Amino acid sequence: MSGRRSFDAGRYRERLGALSAPDDLALFTAIAGADRVAAEPDAVRRVLALCGGYPLGIRLCAHRVRSRPRWSVAAIADQLTAEMSDPYGAAHHDCVVATARIARAYAELDPLPARLLRLIGVLPSREVSAPDVTGLLGVPAHRAAFALEALADVSLLVEAGGGDRYRTANPLVWSLAKRAAYAVDGADAIAALSGSAA
């Protein structure tokens, strides 16, 4: 019997993957309203891309759209993009709620996987391989593989096209990783890491 750990530490069950494109749009539309979606389909797609299929994120963003009828969906997408990209900015309450389980999973990581997740948060690409990790963290291949699998086991990383490549599970994970990197490692360490990754 095998399976991946859910975000609730110590409990194993089949994990719920990201919603597909038709399903994420259906969920968003059911909450935000068909009129809002029909009026700004491109902006809605931007919001859904930021949610990465994460159901809680989709629900919260849709509620934000519904509760702000005077705001355009494009303005909300711009606001979300700015919030998720700024490692120092104050996060909106919805973002805090949406990432609470992700933050809990990160807090329970061993030091090496936690450091790796923070590193991925500041790399130009959200995708890494075991050889990348070996070079960036200066660890043997078996420890790089352990760190990647530890993150995959709690659904913070997902396999990217097979092989030994992984990427952050969704933009919410990437945003949390970036914030954690600036909070824990600091701007100087991040600059050094980014330089070594270039």
Helical pair 111-122 and 186-197, crossing angle rounded to 10 deg = 70
The verdict on 84 and 112 lying in the same domain is: no
The verdict on 160 and 116 lying in the same domain is: yes
Average pLDDT, rounded, for the chain: 84
Would you state the pLDDT for residue 3? Answer: 35
* 160 in a structural domain: yes
* 4 in a structural domain: no
The verdict on 28 and 90 lying in the same domain is: yes
Whether the model clears a pTM of 0.85, i.e. scores above it, the answer is: no
Would you state the pLDDT for residue 150? Answer: 95
Per-residue pLDDT averaged across 13-38, rounded?
Answer: 84
The verdict on 85 and 133 lying in the same domain is: no
Would you state the pLDDT for residue 154? Answer: 93
What are the pLDDT digits (tens) for 54-99? 898 899 999 999 999 999 999 999 999 988 888 876 666 777 787 8
Count of CB atoms within 10 A of residue 58's CB? 27
* 11 in a structural domain: no
Quick check: 15 pLDDT over 50?
Answer: no
- Euclidean distance between CA atoms 158 and 113, whole angstroms: 14
* 193 in a structural domain: yes
The verdict on 54 and 114 lying in the same domain is: no
Domain boundary among 83, 98, 113: 98
The verdict on 106 and 89 lying in the same domain is: no
The verdict on 120 and 72 lying in the same domain is: no
Would you state the pLDDT for residue 192? Answer: 67
Angstrom CA distances, 171 to 21, 61, 177, stand at 15, 14, 10
Q: Are 52 and 172 in contact (CB under 8 A)?
A: yes
Quick check: 36 pLDDT over 80?
Answer: yes
* 9 in a structural domain: no
Highest mean pLDDT among 65-69, 84-88, 132-136, 172-176: 65-69
Domain of residue 150, CATH code: 1.10.10.10
Count of CB atoms within 10 A of residue 40's CB? 18
* 51 in a structural domain: yes
The verdict on 136 and 189 lying in the same domain is: yes
The verdict on 81 and 144 lying in the same domain is: no
Would you state the pLDDT for residue 197? Answer: 53
Q: How confident is the model at residue 125 (pLDDT cuts 50, 70, 90)?
A: confident
Q: Which domain holds residue 75?
A: 21-98
Q: Which residues contact 109 (CB under 8 A, 6 or more apart)?
A: 117, 150, 151, 154
* 77 in a structural domain: yes
- Euclidean distance between CA atoms 157 and 4, whole angstroms: 12
Domain boundary among 54, 69, 98: 98
Q: Are 169 and 176 in contact (CB under 8 A)?
A: no
Q: How confident is the model at residue 2 (pLDDT cuts 50, 70, 90)?
A: very low
Count of CB atoms within 10 A of residue 166's CB? 26
Would you state the pLDDT for residue 185? Answer: 84
Domain boundary among 39, 65, 98: 98
Quick check: 8 pLDDT over 50?
Answer: no
* 60 in a structural domain: yes
Highest mean pLDDT among 13-22, 105-114, 129-138: 105-114
One-letter amino acid at 139 equals V
- Euclidean distance between CA atoms 132 and 62, whole angstroms: 37
Q: What is the total count of domains within the chain?
A: 2
